[in-house]
Structure 1
């Protein structure tokens, strides 16, 4: 299945948000083990992300195969989605707030069903912030996860001044929040099971930083690092690791 097909087989919903409507892709599982739907997962893309990107599609297919409904919003200010607004306006707090609105929408649409949180990069930061929202999420699955803005600042600093200048030009508000954005306190309070999948060669969220995200959880269940993969893992090895992560989470 290609990355496009998972979204083509889905429905699209326009959900009211504080800054306007948020287009959201919803895909139902087919031929899932045991039949029926286990619950809904909110799948949160990163900065300049989109539901069709390979790493998001890989996560979506893993969930659909396990019988989970996938809810993947097109969050504001993504360069990959020009209709979502200017990319230079993206912030940690805004991304999290928009994701929270979809999280609440899921509860309204399918009351009583389990809800889970999954995210990539900035999306992983957002789901850590949402982890203490009640009712408790069934689990969290984080890919290439920064626990704080300082993680992303320090990795860019290690790359050299040009990397800092680039993010200053592309997303100045995002850069400003790097000094204070911290999902650690929320993740440390969450009893929800956590799995992390990351690229062992990721230069943005280095493997030690991904391990710190995992270690912050009191209920870490699975940590996997893909050899030779960078910030946006995909492919057969990634699919197999995601499957193992979901099994470890009881998903």
Structure 2
């Protein structure tokens, strides 16, 4: 029987988990023998899987033909002492007072490859700003770190506040971006809500779900992304979403993250959702959760203008 030239998506997911496990083991082993600096760098390469694109010519930084707007955010990095430039995509909602959403993507894929999820979050009622961290896409070509991407997320959060003052802001993160979103929400006090999809409690906990997770190497992990600890200090409502068929980040990790959050909170398990399809498959559940937890899309109660009078149009949360 002739084998297919490329594996099926399901087979790819089954293969990727042991490959990720072996990759982290390799990073830990090579770094251990070469020294602490290499140990840290190897883990950062494995965890982020970042790749910078060739710089765009100036004319490509202008208007686009896909309805999105290129945004360039510059901020000084306290880690490197050098300025960092972030490439972002801005997708405004047709409603001028729609709530704002900072979109934080996961490992490997940049914002150009995340446009489908940007569109899905916009369809839920948000104006969306999605950023590439340093080391990704058109942003500054620098090896990212846990501390560095949090700097980048905070710079984008502050950009939204400057450009759209007074508008309610939410933070959304997918996969590794969920861990960044949790830390950002812990660090600021002006977010209206936190939304996390397909994420986890910590990098160490993710490794423990892999084939070689029984090995006692987790104390060597430098990029820990301890979301379980941080989410307990988030002061806004929290929505945790996970796909029942997520074979990369198992649903029990999303549930465990939810258990550590404080009320008000909600956990949504999307039946049939995978690591990459949950956002689209779960749109009806998203709408319900956003309405109940954040009041986005909620129909206000009739006023005393008269029994049976039609309710006024729904307003975005925080308007």
Same fold, TM-score > 0.5, yes or no:
yes
**Relative to structure 1, is the Cα distance of residues 77 and 10 closer, same or farther in structure 2, using a 3 angstrom cutoff?**
same
State the Cα distance separating 1:224 from its structure 2 match. Answer: 1.8
Q: Which of residues 118, 134, 147 is equivalent to 1:76? A: 134
What SS does the corresponding residue of 1:195 show, helix, strand or coil? strand
**Which residue pairs with 2:29 in the alignment?**
none
**Which residue pairs with 1:85 in the alignment?**
141
Whole-angstrom distance in 2 between the partners of 1:145 and 1:7: 32
TM-score using structure 2 length: 0.62
Between Structure 1 and Structure 2, the one with more strand by share is: 1
Indicate yes or no: 2:121 matched with 1:57. no
* Mapped contact 2:189–2:235 kept (Cα < 8 A): no
Per-residue CA deviations over 1:130-157 (Å, capped at 9, x if unaligned) read 1133333111111111221212222334
Q: Which of residues 207, 224, 228 is equivalent to 2:251? A: 207
* Mapped contact 1:48–1:77 kept (Cα < 8 A): no
Q: Which of residues 191, 203, 212 is equivalent to 1:137? A: 191
Alpha carbon RMSD of aligned pairs, Å? 2.8
**Which residue pairs with 1:27 in the alignment?**
91
Q: Which of residues 130, 150, 161 is equivalent to 1:96? A: 150
State the Cα distance separating 1:119 from its structure 2 match. Answer: 0.6
Indicate yes or no: 2:104 matched with 1:44. yes
Whole-angstrom distance in 2 between the partners of 1:157 and 1:146: 17
Whole-angstrom distance in 1 between the partners of 2:214 and 2:187: 38
* Mapped contact 1:151–1:205 kept (Cα < 8 A): no
Compare CA radii of gyration and give the structure with the larger one: 2
What SS does the corresponding residue of 2:186 show, helix, strand or coil? coil
Indicate yes or no: 2:177 matched with 1:123. yes
**Which residue pairs with 2:70 in the alignment?**
12
State the Cα distance separating 1:72 from its structure 2 match. Answer: 0.3
State the Cα distance separating 1:27 from its structure 2 match. Answer: 1.0
What SS does the corresponding residue of 1:131 show, helix, strand or coil? helix
Contiguous gaps of at least 5 residues in structure 2: 1-63, 78-82, 297-319
TM-score using structure 1 length: 0.77
* Mapped contact 2:170–2:193 kept (Cα < 8 A): yes
Shift >4 Å, 4+ stretches: 157-161
- State the structure with bigger RCO (CA 8 A, min sep 6), 1 or 2: 1
* Mapped contact 1:74–1:84 kept (Cα < 8 A): no
**Relative to structure 1, is the Cα distance of residues 146 and 92 closer, same or farther in structure 2, using a 3 angstrom cutoff?**
farther
